Amino acid sequence: MYYVLDFISLNYTALLILVGAAVILYANRSMHIRGTRLAGAILILVLILLLLNYLEYWTETYHHGVVWNYIKTSGIYCIYPLLPLLETFLVAKHSKTYSVLLIVPYILFCFFEIADLFGAGITYYFLKPHIFQAGFLRPLPILMSCFYLFVFTVESLQLIKNGRRFQSIIVLFFALTMLLTAFLEYENIVTNRLGEVIAFEMIVYTVYLVALDYNDTRAELHQKDIELEKSKLTLMLSQIKPHFINNSLLAIRELCYEDPERAAELIDHFSAYLRNNLSATDSGRLVPFTEELNAVREYIALEYADETKQFQVEYDLRFTDFMLPALSVEPLVENALKHGVDRYSPDARVRIVSYAAEGSVIIEIRDNGSGFEENAETFGKNSIGLKNTESRLKLMCSGTLTVAREDGWTVVTIRIPDERSNTTCIPLQ
């Protein structure tokens, strides 16, 4: 216990900085920031560096054997160049070939230090427990550290060249402080301060990563808002369907003379249809699937106003307790009727299926037509279009939309991620 208190007393400031950096990394772990694990590894190495530095004090104070000085010296010599090497990987992505070229010299250097651990005397050795002697390659550890510090500095200058000035300033600050600390320690002006410096740098860089991630998230959300507004505008404009409205009104007018009760019923359907469409375009809201089915039924009822149409609509609804963007299913049924099947054929069938499977809600709109062409009307700007529906599903529910031919059926499939049956979606603002 005394040794622990002794260690804390000698390294109190460095330990506080290490804990602070670790807390920042842990607090932002859910953000999945690139480089977090590498920064954590650097902090662990700094802690090991502090422990190794304490070994020297421990052996001198309590007169332990020379083996501990060998472990301390080889360990520190291996860690010093490794820290700037890891920071180089932290601040920039590299190709595998470049990474190998950087790592190979370090591996060879570690072989020398392992040999020194067993008394080879390549870079150092001890005559007595506390009498350090330089080996014939004594400058090698500092040269290795300077080499990786030089690479680190080049990386920062490359960032400036690529226009990433803010990050380059931080990286250049790291390089300069590490170079200065390494030089001062080599000249014995300061001792055992590199660990504190690197721990402080990890705090600075972690804060920078958090700020960068926050800025990227804001930009992504802003872009998503723009896309949602465009989708909402497209949806609103696409709902102005003069041809369909005109045909529905003409059919109702004919029935006013022949079957007033039927005409009144169609007027109710027409009113509900307009209300559903205009309400959806006004709010861009999420609706229960059952409400979307009502919109489908209103549309189909208006299609049946023309009694010469003989298509059949079938429902296989095994799961209905979920939310989805308004007007996600109705336009797909509309496409199936207008561009898929022959509405005047008694063999024409449209099937609406819903079920839950593998953590998702799945809605299928099937038709047994010959398949509609993915043209400007079905996929483009002149109607709601599959693209618009697909875009709103993706933006609002992380949903997907696919079209495929299966056994003579055209199948449009909506898949919405859903852990249970309560989909997490965002409405159009």
Convert the pLDDT of each residue in 293-326 to its tens digit. Answer: 988 888 888 888 777 888 999 999 999 989 888 8
| Residues 22-37 pLDDT 10s | 787 777 666 666 677 7
DSSP 203-256: HHHHHHHHHHHHHHHHHHHHHHHHHHHHHHHHHHHHT--HHHHHHHHHHHHHHH
**Are residues 380 and 370 in contact, defined by beta-carbon separation less than 8 angstroms?**
no
Q: Which amino acid is at 131?
A: I
Closest CA to 167 of 207, 140, 135: 207
Residues of the chain with CATH 3.30.565.10: 239-417
Residues of the chain with CATH 1.20.1070: 2-221
Q: What is the reported pTM?
A: 0.48
| Residues 136-154 pLDDT 10s | 888 888 888 888 878 877 7
Distance CA(401)–CA(360), nearest Å, equals 13
What is the biggest distance separating any 2 CA atoms in the chain, rounded to whole angstroms? Answer: 117
Percent of the chain topping pLDDT 70: 73
pLDDT band at 348 (very low <50, low <70, confident <90, very high): very high
| CATH number for the domain running over 2-221 | 1.20.1070
Write out the two tokens for 417: 């991620």
Eight-class DSSP state of 369 = S
Distance CA(342)–CA(92), nearest Å, equals 59
Return phi, psi of residue 362, to 5°: -125, 130
Query: How much is the mean pLDDT over the chain?
Result: 77
Write out the two tokens for 319: 């799961």
Q: Under CATH, domain 239-417 is a member of which superfamily?
A: Histidine kinase-like ATPase, C-terminal domain (3.30.565.10)
Write out the two tokens for 155: 């990386």
| Residues 89-124 pLDDT 10s | 877 777 788 888 889 999 999 999 999 888 888 998
Measured CA distances, 143 to 84, 105, 112, 120 (Å): 13, 11, 14, 19
